[in-house]
Structure 1
Amino acid sequence: MAAAAATNGALAMTNATNGARTNGTPATKPNGASATAYGSPASHHSADGAGDGVPVPGSGRDHIVIFPFMAKGHMLPLLHFATALSAQHGRSSRLRVTLVTTPGNVAFARSRLPSSVDLVALPFPSFPPLPAGVESTDALPCPSLHLTFMHATGLLRGPFAEFLESLPSPPLALVSDFFLGFTRRVAADAGVRRVVFNGMSCFASAICKALAASPPASGFAPGAMIQVPGMPEHVVVRAKEVPDGVTKRADPDNPFTRFFMDEIGDSDVRSWGVLSNSFAALDEAYVPALESFYEVGARAWLVGPLFLAAAGVMPDGEKEQDPEGCLSWLDERAAAQPGSVVYVSFGTQAHITDAQLDELVHGLVQSGHPFLWAVRSDTWSPPVDVGPNGRIVRGWVPQRSVLAHEAVGGFVSHCGWNSVMESLAAGKPMLAWPMIAEQHLNARHVANIIGVGVRIALKAGADVVGSAEVEEKVRELMDAECKSAKQMRERAAWAQQAARSAVSHGGTSAMALQKLVEELQETYDDVVGKGANGV
């Protein structure tokens, strides 16, 4: 019933065949469903690549559709991918890019996309107990609703199918998020190939797939060290670093397990290819292991760091704002001592207890290093005076600009992959403090393999990391005379150069992006219009 209601109320893409064209207003389709497209009001979408949000009729060979999951950490890389695609190919080969989202995410996406990228809104379904108007995970009132939100996104299947059907010809490809598993079948039925994006590194993705397929015979005892099958010999992980989605995969009573079985299934591994926000110098060694879990012929395309690939062509909305004056504060610290400030941020998804926040602020103050800390909690207050060298910010922090600032010498991070990419691109070492999901694997990648970080330690049986541990590790990260800190900075400088080289002309990521489009175009006629049997 809920799925039917969502389909009947679909706000799909303007039907190009009936001539409807809009700039954020609905146009009526013959079946009664309305259609909404959002774009720049400045110009009509013409063959030269300029756009007003409504694709004109033309060959699907020149059209890529992108559908991100509705979470800021998932959306941003694909917004950058859309921008990079449009910039690299938009004028030379007349490639058209359409990004699909929901009305509540339109403003966020539109401000971060060039006008050459079309934007389409599908209605976000009503799905109690999810509050009305909540269309992104960062707007959830409590973490317990995350799974409910993921189930709600599955009801976008009908509107998305209508959108694909409304196009004059099947697009070149669909690039969609791992969590939107339904999109692979919808695309296949329309004769469209799906490239899956999961926001993880090849390293973490391959480990998760390998251990899900071949769990250790002894199980996942917390202290056990696991040699990951199919991976290079140096890849050994602790069982407690493996995400719950892998360790609890065999538990049919686990709600996340049921979601993955029912909603994701084999949609990931049956995709035509995998889009990775990483680059060859970091992840090339793990590509064969990752590709081995996909259908024969599927490839992993390493095209990151995507925010660097999109740099130079980002619209004004993507240029980071600084409402809290963080950069001015850093300017003052840079004048006194460059590289002295510790930047602290744990992203938007993890919940941190007040007790842990108390220990953290004590440790930061005791370290003696100036710090800039982005705190998500609106209710916590520091139990100690942080003084003029401590800055706690509860509003927006321009993270990429902060990390690139000469005053910043290190990053205390939850090791979300977007943050890892931004830190590496800025050449800053990390104090790895993972919280959830694959972040523990990212921390191992950062500290133990790439060598650009040190890891926080939680004592056995403890619920929080103590202030003494924070103080010790911050000093290790920031001490200019410490041998390990010097080595981390050398590796961070290498990673920065490698990241920038990857997206430069002729770099590995730039070439991968070009080859991805070329291969899709060369094989377009082999699959177009053949439905599920041809994809």
Structure 2
Amino acid sequence: MEETTTTIVMYPAPGIGHIISMVEFAKILIHHHQQQNFSITILLTTGFFDNPSIDSYVNRISTSHPSVTFHRFPSVTALIQSNTQSLAATGFKFLKSNNVNVESKLRQISETSIIKSFIIDLFCTSALEIASTMEIPVYYFFTSGAAVLALYSYLPKIHTETTVSFIEMVGIEIVAPGNAPLNAVLMPEMVLDREDHAYWEMLYMCEHISQAKGIVVNTFLELETIAVMAIKDGACFPDLGRSPPPIYCIGPLIADPQQPDEARDIKDCLSWLDEQPSRTVVYLCFGSRGSFSMAQLKEIAEGLERSGHRFLWVVKRPIQEYLGMNQVHGTTGEFELSSVLPSGFIERTKERGLVVKSWAPQVEVLSHESVGGFVSHCGWNSVLEAVVAGVPMIAWPLYAEQHVNRNLMVADMKVAVAVEQREGDMFVSGEEVEKRVRELMESERGRDIRKTSLKFKDMAKDALGEFGSSTKALSNLVQTWYDN
């Protein structure tokens, strides 16, 4: 009699960051639970947030991990973004339009294999009902941290308490379990405006968090104890009337994406770090999409120059001012560094600073002995990479849920100082850049933050150890699949 195969199906949201996180989850599942002998199928969309780096990444993983297979859906060509629709609303519409592809593939896999679980990115909530109807257990995989998950879980309650958009609630703080108070206008963009269709899609998504069989989070218990407990004890689900779904903290999952084609002189970058004294370099990088206007670049340059500290600065192609949103979706266009930085800056600081275009090998940079601080946009992957490396941070949030992460890093984790940002456009002066660099690198508070960062580095390593909290959580998750 032929043995029935078992499969785990994963469905990440579009975008290389979400895909990499899901793949890292798949890799540790296979590494730790080979005896269960399951295969993993990862479903990929086509037509939104596509990038050539995704294809090369998928090819590399397929070769190195034969038990992970990828299925790419056909392109959804009927989707056209209108001027009246936000990018986020377009994204949700795109994912809904792929539901027919999701159902078709799940039914096809079910003909030859038992699907033990369907693990979906939170943004793929529209696929939850499809799998539930087929009696396939659905688990969420959350690529950000537990504090953001706690906020999103509580959003339906916040929604009932006001009829005003967050973007209009100037001076009002949002208080959610597991989180420090957050200025309402700094909530994630997708929920800022009730007139935006994305708000209602996010609300739908958040209302369905409690329907999952479990929630897998890329964090570790010791890093976000307050937020994790707020989710576990039901404080984030005040009207649920039953126990919330279990939360499995299985991180930190760290991936080093393949070096992009446009990234040149990477060896020179690391060689330069080799020549710098221990813990003296401030590293500045603002994620895969974080970028600034030329006016803001000028202020950063002046602040770095006046600080007197060594620095490694990744500069992306500048953006035009756009509603104060410092992000671009194509950061690889050609530009000359000398044309976007103050005249003579590179020459004047060449003895203690290095500016690189577009990209640096961040995991390697953060783990380098010479790096003593990290100016970060507070994207969750970057936060985890710094925590694992034990590097203290200067928090400079730009978009999405990064202001929530900033609060967590400063108030709860105490691994960062925060820059003061101008209300409205979130501009940061050169004086402020200088002040925060000096604070992190010279002050007593900076030394305390460094000590805390090193403690979390050890905790992160322990969490992933044989008897660590994340390893246990992963085992408990797998056990639930085979108990049912």
Category of TM-score, reference length = shorter chain? 0.7 to 0.9
For 1:501, the equivalent position in structure 2 comes to 462
Aligned match for 2:342, one of 364, 383, 388 = 383
Matched, 1:164 2:103: no
Question: What is the letter of the counterpart of residue 515 of structure 1?
Answer: N
Which secondary structure state, in structure 1, belongs to the residue aligned with residue 211 of structure 2?
coil
Aligned match for 1:154, one of 90, 96, 113 = 96
Tell me how far apart the structure 1 counterparts of residues 77 and 370 of structure 2 sit (CA, whole Å).
Answer: 47
Q: Is residue 320–residue 401 contact of structure 1 (8 Å, CA) maintained in 2? A: no
Runs of 4+ with deviation above 6 angstroms:
216-219, 319-322
Question: What is the letter of the counterpart of residue 238 of structure 1?
Answer: N
For 2:188, the equivalent position in structure 1 comes to 243
1:159 and 1:453, CA in 2 relative to 1: closer, same or farther beyond 3 A? same
TM-fit CA distance, 1:462: 6.3
Q: Is residue 156–residue 206 contact of structure 2 (8 Å, CA) maintained in 1? A: no
For 1:437, the equivalent position in structure 2 comes to 400
Question: What is the letter of the counterpart of residue 365 of structure 1?
Answer: E
1:256 and 1:144, CA in 2 relative to 1: closer, same or farther beyond 3 A? closer
Tell me how far apart the structure 2 counterparts of residues 461 and 506 of structure 1 sit (CA, whole Å).
Answer: 47
Matched, 1:304 2:260: no
Structure 1 residues 87-486: aligned runs within 5 Å = 87-90=31-34, 92-102=35-45, 105-112=54-61, 114-129=65-80, 145-167=87-109, 168-214=112-158, 221-228=169-176, 230-231=177-178, 235-248=180-193, 251=194, 253-260=195-202, 264=205, 266-291=207-232, 292=234, 293=237, 296=243, 298-307=245-254, 323-377=263-317, 378=333, 379=335, 381-384=340-343, 385-386=345-346, 387-388=349-350, 389-460=352-423, 464-479=427-442, 482-486=443-447
Which secondary structure state, in structure 2, belongs to the residue aligned with residue 191 of structure 1?
coil
For structure 2, list consecutive stretches of 5 or more residues without a partner in the other structure: 318-332
TM-fit CA distance, 1:261: 5.3
Question: What is the letter of the counterpart of residue 184 of structure 2?
Answer: A
Which secondary structure state, in structure 2, belongs to the residue aligned with residue 396 of structure 1?
coil
Tell me how far apart the structure 2 counterparts of residues 517 and 449 of structure 1 sit (CA, whole Å).
Answer: 30
Tell me how far apart the structure 2 counterparts of residues 326 and 472 of structure 1 sit (CA, whole Å).
Answer: 30
CA offsets 1:143-189 (integer angstroms, 9 cap, x no match): 95453243222221111111111122441001111111222112112
Which secondary structure state, in structure 2, belongs to the residue aligned with residue 63 of structure 1?
strand
Tell me how far apart the structure 1 counterparts of residues 270 and 143 of structure 2 sit (CA, whole Å).
Answer: 30
Which secondary structure state, in structure 2, belongs to the residue aligned with residue 187 of structure 1?
helix
Tell me how far apart the structure 2 counterparts of residues 427 and 74 of structure 1 sit (CA, whole Å).
Answer: 24
TM-fit CA distance, 1:72: 1.8
Question: What is the letter of the counterpart of residue 242 of structure 1?
Answer: M
Aligned match for 1:74, one of 18, 33, 52 = 18
Question: What is the letter of the counterpart of residue 77 of structure 2?
Answer: S
Which secondary structure state, in structure 2, belongs to the residue aligned with residue 411 of structure 1?
strand
Q: Is residue 153–residue 209 contact of structure 2 (8 Å, CA) maintained in 1? A: no
Question: What is the letter of the counterpart of residue 471 of structure 1?
Answer: E
Q: Is residue 275–residue 303 contact of structure 1 (8 Å, CA) maintained in 2? A: yes
State the aligned residue count: 438
For normalisation by structure 2, the TM-score amounts to 0.82
Tell me how far apart the structure 2 counterparts of residues 400 and 322 of structure 1 sit (CA, whole Å).
Answer: 18
Question: What is the letter of the counterpart of residue 57 of structure 2?
Answer: F
Tell me how far apart the structure 2 counterparts of residues 169 and 258 of structure 1 sit (CA, whole Å).
Answer: 36
Tell me how far apart the structure 2 counterparts of residues 59 and 360 of structure 1 sit (CA, whole Å).
Answer: 59
TM-fit CA distance, 1:286: 2.0
For normalisation by structure 1, the TM-score amounts to 0.75
Q: Is residue 65–residue 173 contact of structure 1 (8 Å, CA) maintained in 2? A: yes
Tell me how far apart the structure 2 counterparts of residues 68 and 124 of structure 1 sit (CA, whole Å).
Answer: 16
CA offsets 1:462-520 (integer angstroms, 9 cap, x no match): 652111101111111222xx201110110000110111110111100011111100112
1:70 and 1:174, CA in 2 relative to 1: closer, same or farther beyond 3 A? same
Question: What is the letter of the counterpart of residue 182 of structure 2?
Answer: V
TM-fit CA distance, 1:402: 0.9
Q: Greater CA radius of gyration, 1 or 2?
A: 1
Greater shift in the superposed pair: 235-244 or 463-472:
235-244
Tell me how far apart the structure 2 counterparts of residues 58 and 320 of structure 1 sit (CA, whole Å).
Answer: 42
Which secondary structure state, in structure 2, belongs to the residue aligned with residue 500 of structure 1?
helix
For 2:480, the equivalent position in structure 1 comes to 519
RMSD of aligned Cα (Å) = 2.9
TM-fit CA distance, 1:270: 1.3
For structure 1, list consecutive stretches of 5 or more residues without a partner in the other structure: 1-56, 132-142, 309-313, 524-535
1:152 and 1:322, CA in 2 relative to 1: closer, same or farther beyond 3 A? closer
TM-fit CA distance, 1:278: 0.2
Percent identical pairs in the alignment equals 27
1:256 and 1:372, CA in 2 relative to 1: closer, same or farther beyond 3 A? same
TM-fit CA distance, 1:195: 0.8
Tell me how far apart the structure 1 counterparts of residues 458 and 260 of structure 2 sit (CA, whole Å).
Answer: 23
Question: What is the letter of the counterpart of residue 237 of structure 1?
Answer: L
